[in-house]
Amino acid sequence: MDIWERMDYLRKELERHNKLYYENDAPEISDFEYDAMLRELEELEAQYPIYATPDSPTKHVGGRVNEKFSKVTHKNLMKSLGDIFSQEEVFEFCKRVRSSIGEQELSFVVERKIDGLSVSVEYENGKLVRASTRGDGAVGEDITENALTIKNLPKSIDPSIPYLEVRGEVYMPFEVFLRVNEQAELEGEKTFANPRNAAAGSLRQLNSKITAERELSIFVFNIQEIQGREFSSHAETLRFLSSLGFEASPGFIECKTDEEIWAAIEEIGESRGTLSYGIDGAVIKVNEIPLRTILGETAKIPRWAIAYKYPPEEKKTHLLSVEVTVGRTGKLTPVAILEPVHLAGTTVSKATLNNADFIAEKDVRIGDVVVVRKAGEIIPEIVSVDVSQRPEGAVPYTMPEYCPACGEKVYRSETEAALRCLNEQCPAQTYRAMMHFVSKDAMNIDGMGPSMINVLLNADLIHDVADIYTLSEKREDLKNLERMGDSSVANLLASIEDSKNRPLSRLIAALGIRNVGVVAARALAKAFGSMEKLMQATVLELAALPDFGMITAQSVEDFFAKESNRALISKLAEAGVNMNEENAGSGNAPWAGKIFVLTGTLPNYSRSEASEIILSLGGSVSSSVSKNTTYVLAGEAAGSKLTKAQNLGVTIITEEEFNRMADEARKSGEQA
């Protein structure tokens, strides 16, 4: 069998197993065997790219990669629930329900409120045909490709059921969440704030392969519509869904009296620390389905159900010590090392202490008993100190006077609470600066993860980011490093060489200038066009840029005023790194002169991704709405910016309209 025949065989076999795994839920081989075939095909495609195909299973999982999600108009509205926060409000809800239905027999079901992303899943003649996000309740996004990667979601059910639509919650288990964030940290990428955000971001990936890697799960909690079956109670529907293979609202409790309902809420609340996934409340539903029709719905919420929200879980534990880390800008960050405590489903052993002012305000001392919580975010925080349990002799904690990484004296400016190490040779800053430089939003150098940077630093092969571009002269030294064979070295050097051609905006972002992120870097590259002109810019010229202001402008001027930074840029230029922005300052760009403001959560883009598109087409991004604003791009949960835009008569666009406008702008740019 020659190379082409082997690759063709592997492609067909992998596609067959994809179908068995994702669509039929009946795998024939183990994950290990599947991964071995996939790795072999990846290696062959890398070695013989002429034989690679664009639809190869190495480029997708369970289906093709979508260019963008299409919209789905829900057959049945996906409404939200009203929220309540006290026992009195629970009893008031029950009273309203009873007064509306009179003397009829009434019971309730109390369920866990899973902290995830609400979706609709539809089946026709037993086959999964569509999955969609809730969206605005009336229109969502088609995420069928990604839903097929969720292992505990049945891909087929009883074929005698002509049509079934279920509503469920897609979530990420704590164990998976921690693993995903750990991997993101290792690769220098942004971590997710909490499992809910991680689940939503994973389900909305344009590449189903990434979704599959995130190992999402789903619980279903409602039948939106079914043909050929009738049910008298909600509990009956949940048991029916379980019989079809769904994980249907696990742990639901049937109740009759107000006291039973409250006891169920307390029982679910007490179980939070033992569950492998996040819940943020309990849902109370009228059990009898015919009574739901009597109770009815408002335009936004059903009157037969309500959500009780638990207060943030808090636990007491001992503060064992304080660890101070040093960031790439020299900022010293204190971290509390705690006696491990189980909190909101995870074991917590660290908590942020922010800065010296926070420590002084809370009067935090080593040995104290502290109250810790995770209020929506996954990063634990210290809420307070139990002074009554303070050990004798405990003294106020003070931040170090010298950098823990290099031993140099640290300083605090009058304008901020943070302490900083100003030593440019500080090893901690060097390491983190390199991590930032090679990250995806910066120079995007594959193969330069945390472990590789550590290896190169320890081997004395690099001392600053410019030295990365001298590694091509040290090929033999690289080959002598552990786990670095010919192909690994070749791939690393190729990625480094490729990064030389990144736009100037990427290089500016990679330099790690304080207060300058991706969007600000794009604005600088667009305004000045070259590194040489940017380095000569005055603070007044910089401050005149949209959304800059004096603080950011001063940070940029201070950075380029340092001789060491100018020398670093000179080294990068000598190495062949691009120092110019193509089409910078061109008034012929399709969106030249157009000012966009972003608000709310977009279905398929982060704000930085949407901003990248705007800037690439010549537009600018502002953080505030004014009469000069051209468009406000509004997503879910848009706030005061949307209201102000409406009052000023500014044009408001959706992501769908934004995509259409961008496509038209690209076409007009090509024609020009």
List the chain domain ranges: 3-59, 83-309, 314-412, 427-499, 504-574, 595-671
CB 136 within 8 A of CB 118: no
Q: What is the CATH number of domain 314-412?
A: 2.40.50.140
Give the model's pLDDT for residue 405. 92
CB 305 within 8 A of CB 108: no
Domains 504-574 and 595-671 are alike in CATH topology: no
Give the model's pLDDT for residue 64. 34
CB 6 within 8 A of CB 53: no
Give the model's pLDDT for residue 635. 83
Look up the CATH architecture of domain 504-574.
Orthogonal Bundle (1.10)
Look up the CATH architecture of domain 83-309.
2-Layer Sandwich (3.30)
Closest to 464 measured CA to CA, from 502, 512, 401: 512
**Mean pLDDT, residues 470-477 taken together:** 92
The answer, yes or no, to whether residue 221 has pLDDT greater than 90, is: yes
The answer, yes or no, to whether residue 23 has pLDDT greater than 70, is: no
Give the model's pLDDT for residue 20. 56
Cα–Cα distance for residue pair 574/415, rounded to 1 Å: 37
In terms of CATH, what superfamily is 595-671? Answer: BRCT domain (3.40.50.10190)
Give the model's pLDDT for residue 571. 95
Q: What's the chain's average pLDDT?
A: 86
Closest to 302 measured CA to CA, from 221, 361, 358, 422: 221
Highest mean pLDDT among 244-253, 301-310, 485-494: 244-253
Q: How confident is the model at residue 66 (pLDDT cuts 50, 70, 90)?
A: very low
Give the model's pLDDT for residue 41. 86
Closest to 444 measured CA to CA, from 488, 403, 499: 499
Please list the active-site residues: 113
CB 251 within 8 A of CB 274: no
Give the model's pLDDT for residue 67. 38
**Mean pLDDT, residues 274-281 taken together:** 85
Condensed to tens digits (0 to 9), the pLDDT of residues 615-628 reads 778 787 877 788 88
User: Starting from the edge strand earliest in sequence, which strands make up the sheet with 305-309, in order?
Assistant: 83-84, 305-309, 279-286, 108-114, 253-255
The answer, yes or no, to whether residue 376 has pLDDT greater than 60, is: no
Cα–Cα distance for residue pair 605/69, rounded to 1 Å: 11
Low-confidence winner among 294-308, 368-382, 626-640 (lowest mean pLDDT): 368-382
Task: Pull the structure tokens for residue 303.
Answer: 């009157």
Q: How confident is the model at residue 187 (pLDDT cuts 50, 70, 90)?
A: low
Give the model's pLDDT for residue 31. 42
Highest mean pLDDT among 54-58, 374-378, 563-567: 563-567
H/E segment holding residue 622: strand 620-622
Q: How confident is the model at residue 21 (pLDDT cuts 50, 70, 90)?
A: very low
Domain 3-59 -> CATH class: mainly alpha
Crossing angle for the helix pair 518-528 and 607-616, nearest 10 degrees? 10
User: Starting from the edge strand earliest in sequence, which strands make up the sheet with 651-653, in order?
Assistant: 620-622, 595-599, 631-634, 651-653
Crossing angle for the helix pair 31-47 and 3-18, nearest 10 degrees? 140
Cα–Cα distance for residue pair 466/574, rounded to 1 Å: 9
Cα–Cα distance for residue pair 255/81, rounded to 1 Å: 20
- How many C-beta atoms lie closer than 10 Å to residue 657's C-beta? 13
Condensed to tens digits (0 to 9), the pLDDT of residues 328-363 reads 888 898 999 999 987 765 678 888 888 889 999 999
In terms of CATH, what superfamily is 427-499? Answer: 5' to 3' exonuclease, C-terminal subdomain (1.10.150.20)
